[in-house]
Amino acid sequence: MRLLRMLAVLACGVAAGAARAETLTVAQQSVADEKAVFATVESISVVPARSRIGGTVAQLNVREGDRITSGQAVATIGDEKLVLQMKSLDAQIEALQAQAKQAQIDFTRTEGLVERGIVPRVKLDEQRTALNVADNALRAKTAERAVINEQLNQGQVLAPVEGRVLKRLITVGSVVLPGDPIVTVAQQNFKLRLRVPERHARFLKAGDKIRVDGAELVGEASKWGVIDLVYPQIEEGRVIADATVEGLGEYFVGDRLRVWISGGMRPAFVIPAGYVTTRFGIDHVRLQRAGGVVDVPVQRGRELPTPAVPDGLEILSGVRAGDQLVRP
């Protein structure tokens, strides 16, 4: 009798512990039938930094992989002809300044003579015209010098956008013409470019979520992204789509990643992985039954992480809708 009472107390304790255990009701849900495709990390746009004048590359300030800001000088182009033109214009300006100074002196002298009645007023008008001609010639030559000076300043090749230098197309000493590309710059805010087999095209649309496999991200968990654009043209039996995923700015441009996309919907049993235990190579779950908690072998499928259940695991057999799972 004493043994029976001890067993009864033990059974009551086990039942109370089971009642207090965390339970989960199994329910069938629709999940995305994920398909694995490859995607490449690509820039929104790749633009060249072009030379604005012709000449010889005198200096290169960047190399492949450098991060640059918009307006940063990436190279310097020198043109000896512009320097010679500048020296010629300086000499002409000095000559015109002397002529303008002499014209001003002649005008002042003639003005005094006219006031005293020594020379006619027509002579004064001639000197005023000569002074105006000299001043205008000086201003024109000064403006021409400013144009040459601006061309010299345009020898600085400026970065058109903020981003990363992908490739240098010339070396120091190369001769370039106006408009020649010097470096190519990948604009920041990289995107994933997916190439999906055309049989999945009818399931692909803007706004769908995609998952980047955690195995592709060293030391990181799986990441979720959103498809921004699906291109209408099919190339080589594949549909092209662009997706935005946070944190792609540190990857190499052109890096290939495995991405999971939705290929339709299907029913499945998905439970947190913490409810499954493995003993001797067999997976088990604990079910709440009328007689207590029992262990039931199950067949697990692949991992199905979702935003609601990050450690989701698909169960192929062994459970039914309405079963009460008990966390081990």
User: Domain for residue 221, yes or no?
Assistant: yes
Separation of alpha carbons 161 and 185, rounded Å: 7
- C-beta separation of 270 from 309 below 8 A: yes
Q: Residues 119-148: pLDDT tens digits?
A: 788 888 888 898 899 899 999 999 988 887
The closest of 85, 15, 56 to 180, measured between CA atoms, is: 56
Q: Identify which of 234, 297, 235, 257 has the alpha carbon closest to the alpha carbon of residue 243.
A: 257
* pLDDT at residue 203 tops 60: yes
Q: Which of 184-188, 226-230, 297-301, 306-310 has the lowest mean pLDDT?
A: 306-310
CATH number for the domain harbouring residue 155: 2.40.50.100
Q: What is the CATH number of the domain that holds 309?
A: 2.40.420.20
pLDDT, mean of residues 227-248: 84
Based on the fold, state whether residues 51 and 179 are members of the same structural domain. yes
Examine residue 16 and state whether it is found in any structural domain, yes or no. no
Q: 183 and 34 in contact (C-beta within 8 Å)?
A: no
Q: Are residues 211 and 236 in the same domain?
A: yes
Residue 183: predicted pLDDT: 93
What's the number of domains the chain is made of?
Answer: 3
Which of 80-89, 187-196, 279-288 holds the top average pLDDT? 279-288
**β partners of residue 288:** 293
Asked if the model's pLDDT at residue 9 lies above 50, the reply is no
Strand partners, 205: none
Q: Is residue 230 part of a domain?
A: yes
Report the pLDDT value the prediction gives residue 3, as an integer from 0 to 100: 45
Q: Closest Cα to residue 155, out of 90, 87, 91, 80?
A: 80
In a domain, 1, yes or no: no
Residue 272 forms part of a structural domain:
yes
Please say if the pLDDT value at position 171 is more than 50. yes
Say if residue 126 is in the same domain as residue 95: yes
Per residue in 74-92, is it b (16+ CB within 10 Å) or e — as a string?
A: bbbbebeebeebeeebeeb
Most confident of 12-16, 73-77, 215-219, 251-255: 73-77
Q: Which helix (H) or strand (E) holds 2?
A: helix 2-20
239-249 as b/e: b if 16+ CB within 10 A: bebbbebeebe
Is the distance from CB of 167 to CB of 71 less than 8 angstroms? no
Q: The domain spanning residue 191 has which CATH number?
A: 2.40.30.170
- For residue 278, tell me if it sits in a domain: yes
- Domain span at 90: 47-184
DSSP string computed for 106-149: HHHHHHHHHHHTSS-HHHHHHHHHHHHHHHHHHHHHHHHHHHHH
Which of residues 39 and 252 earns the better pLDDT score? 39
Q: What value does the mean pLDDT of the chain take?
A: 82
How high is the pLDDT of residue 136?
92
Q: How far apart are CA 208 and CA 291, in angstroms?
A: 45
179 by Cβ neighbours in 10 Å (0-12 / 13-18 / 19+) ranks as: exposed
Place of tokens 């007023």: 121
Residue 232 in this model has a pLDDT that exceeds 70: yes
Residues found in the chain: 328
End of a domain among 219, 248, 265?
Answer: 265
In this structure, is residue 8 part of a structural domain? no
